[in-house]
Chain A
């Protein structure tokens, strides 16, 4: 069942890729089609996905299948939470620059990994943005992302 679901998901992906490759305009005379390799790779993915589905069906019929329900789901909720935090964190760079989102994300992520010391979490909210800002934006000279809504760096620098 597990292989079959993975195969079906990849099958869908391969169909999207085939459609995407098909959108590439035809080649001019004397040139090769820019969609040739993407199309070939997408078709290869389709074939391999079908093999995966076939393997899943075969193991289901032989009773050697790993039931999806029996696959341990431990930690998946935490992973999804962390992924959600990651998505919000990266998006908030656009809205609030680097400092404020990092000050908020650092204690949350530390908490998720099991840190419970209030002092430690509070310190992380100050130290993490400070240290990363000094290393990357001051010492290495990278231009920091500008927060469109509010940027703490703007306030600090007056």
Chain B
């Protein structure tokens, strides 16, 4: 019930309300801009939030993340270019609808479904997070390490095409996070005699480099490959409005999508793209008109959009209760918590309970804000985006990355780190390594190391402590099973492909 006083306190703060509306608009624009992601925007704006109060900073970035997920549908429907990986599922039916002059109708379905899904996710978060936190308080270092281990394996093996490359990305993230002084003994690791490296690699410059500068490099490469111009799909006179009768068949798909998204969101690393595609597949399987899916079914927009946005709230649960970010946005938000001196984990609900519920309240108001902006102004947002040429936008983002990286700690070494991280981020994208796994592992590594070494101290160096405790064993097995399931799925896909090739 803490959410109601939190909502009241947020609603009565006009400055915070303005920040929420601003964040909703910024997130939507960023999500709808092809090539830009909410993660990039959050990473770039992160240094600015150092100068804000903690709730203001967290709410601003959290709402950008929520709105950015929704903004991807604007690009998918109105520009035929998915703004985010998740909105590729929306594009399957969004594009045929737009071609049929029903872009406005599709956009309204996407907006309503996103709002339904996002609210479902947030309500589940508010109801369940206290319970998870209470459970997390009972976990010891071996159990916590086992959860970290499961998170590493799931993040490394489930996202992306190659398990080996995913795991390599995760291991690289761990190695980079080890640079600097050991927090327990104070000994130098991977510093190679450099004083600047002894301070470690900062989260903010790394994020800005990988997500922002890396994206600028990728966009420059993309420009040289394609000269295609992005145009807005417009609606016919009857294709703009949406009646309740038209939306009614979408409701079960949106609600199912909400449950699918919320369930997937709570698992670290899976993310909204997987939720959106599972929801689309499940929706099509249960649809009364499956033959229309892929050809312009409104339900085909509702199902993935609801799931995509429902991920947002529950993905905060592992972050807030265990300190394990479930997504790249979660990883950046973890940085904000740490910068403002707030320790994330089960004790957060004892020390900063009010702040957590106020953040949830801000998220809910953010949903209303982007819902209203999207329902009434998606076309205007699309026009704003089209007015800013990418040839100007990306150089400005390039310059912003440098000053933002410097502003974080006033350190020129951070700018150097950001530059190299940007190039590394581009290389990882180019050679199909997993950037998300790299960043999330970077964030998780220190906590995992701490719990691992605490466990070893508890058992006098005996590794069997992890198998002697049932919860720890359960999570270790979960990680191994997740990887085994993924290997099996890949093998099956390969068999199908080789079968098709032989048939051809």
B-contacting residues of A (Cβ < 8 Å)?
2, 6, 10, 17, 20-21, 24-25, 27-28, 31-32, 34-38, 41-42, 44-45, 48-49, 51-52, 55, 72, 74-76, 78-79, 82-83, 86-87, 89-91, 93-94, 98, 102, 105-106, 109-110, 112-115, 124, 128, 132, 136, 140-143, 145
Contact = CB atoms under 8 A, between A and B. Distances in A.
Interface in B407-425: 407, 410, 412, 415-416, 418-419, 422-423
B3 to A, nearest CB: 32
Interface in B380-398: 390-392, 394-396, 398
Contacts of B399: 102, 105-106, 109, 128, 132
Given A20-B190, A49-B168, A113 B406 contact: no
B412 A90 contact: yes
B185 A74 contact: no
Nearest to B398: A109
A115 B391 contact: yes
Interface stretch (B25-33, B88-96, B215-223): B215-223
B402 A89 contact: yes
Interface of B is mostly: helix
Given A31-B185, A102-B403, 7 more contacts: A34-B182, A34-B189, A52-B164, A86-B402, A113-B220, A113-B395, A115-B391
Contacts of B448: 37
Given A83-B423, A90-B412, A109-B399, A38 B221 contact: no
Contacts of A91: 416
A22 to B, nearest CB: 11
Contacts of B394: 113
B175 A42 contact: yes
B55 interface: no
Contact of A109 (B168, B189, B395, B461): B395
4 interchain residue pairs of minimum CB distance: A75-B221, A34-B182, A75-B224, A109-B395
Given A20-B190, A28-B185, A79 B217 contact: yes
Contact of B164 (A55, A76, A89): A55
Contact of A113 (B48, B225, B390, B402): B390
A74 B423 CA distance: 16
B209 to A, nearest CB: 10
23 contacts: A17-B175, A20-B192, A21-B189, A24-B182, A24-B187, A24-B189, A32-B453, A37-B445, A37-B449, A38-B178, A41-B175, A41-B178, A45-B168, A74-B225, A83-B217, A90-B402, A109-B398, A110-B392, A110-B395, A113-B220, A114-B223, A140-B407, A145-B412
A131 B166 CA distance: 40
A92 to B, nearest CB: 10
Interface of A is mostly: helix
A86 B217 CA distance: 11
A34 B175 contact: no
Nearest to A10: B168
A86 B422 contact: yes
A16 to B, nearest CB: 9
A106 B217 contact: no
B1 interface: no
A19 to B, nearest CB: 10
Contacts of A17: 175, 190
Contact of B221 (A78, A110, A132): A78
Nearest to B174: A41
A31 B220 contact: no
B295 interface: no
Contacts of B222: 75
The winner among A20, A27, A82, A87 for most chain B CB atoms within 10 A is A82
Contact of A74 (B165, B221, B406, B407): B221
A24 B180 CA distance: 11
